[in-house]
Amino acid sequence: MRTPEPGVVSARDGQRAKVYDAEQLVRGVFDRADEHGNRTVELYGSHLTLPIERRFASVESVQVYTDRVLSLNWVRAQWDRAATPVRVRSRAGTAAAHYEAADAVLAVPLHTGATAWALRELVILHELAHHLEPAAASVAPHGPEFCGRYVELVDGIIGPEAGLVLRSSMLGCGVSLS
């Protein structure tokens, strides 16, 4: 979820539900692989070995990860906003992580009961994809440009197999990508 800059009218977010549906499918694939210890999945007739998705224990560990992602040479070369630091904070409630563009803040819910659904790499990369949006852009928060950035981050950081699973799930859910 992205909080728009004050005074900025953002485009309609018509893909939001489709993006979230695709992400839920991908997280399910990774969760099942972790539960069953079998990292090989079949995707459209091809067998892929899923890479490990990082999980986090605290706001501090998410902050270290975020700083490292934004300092990667290829990320800095691709997106000017990578030079703008992100501050990670805990978020009250458990429903969603979100990005606050006005202050470059990534807010994540922590452990609730036995779950820490937001303290995982796919969720953090989603929020970083919002952060990397060009400052002057007035596009839909989950539009094709965002989705392209998100898939590129997942592909380059988690691995090409994860990027393929995400891209395929998005396309299967009717998401447009740039």
Reduced 3-state DSSP string for 97-133: CEEECCCCEEEEECCECCECCCCEHHHHHHHHHHHCC
Q: By three-state DSSP, how is residue 46 classified?
A: strand
- Measured distance CA(112)–CA(35) in Å, rounded: 20
pLDDT at 56: 93
Sequence-ordered list of residues with C-beta below 8 angstroms from that of 9, at least 6 positions apart, any chain:
138
- The end-to-end CA distance of the chain, in Å, is 19
Locate the DSSP E strands across 8-146: 40-43, 46-49, 87-91, 98-100, 105-109
Q: pLDDT at position 68, please?
A: 98
Q: What's residue 9's pLDDT?
A: 38
**What's the confidence (pLDDT) of residue 5?**
42
3-class SS at 39? Answer: coil
Residue 87's beta-bridge partner residues? 105
The DSSP code for 53 is: P
Residue type at position 44: Y
Q: What is the pLDDT of residue 11?
A: 58
- Kindly list the averaged pLDDT for each block of 10 residues, start to end, along the chain of length 178: 42 84 94 90 90 93 97 97 96 82 92 73 96 79 93 98 96 93
Residue 152 neighbours by CB under 8 Å, 6+ apart: 78, 163
The pLDDT score that the predictor gives to residue 112 is: 61
Determine the distance from the C-alpha atom of residue 80 to the mean position of all C-alpha atoms in its chain, rounded to a whole number. 18
Predicted local distance difference test score (pLDDT) of residue 14: 80
Q: Are 104 and 120 in contact (CB under 8 A)?
A: no
pLDDT at position 111, please?
A: 67
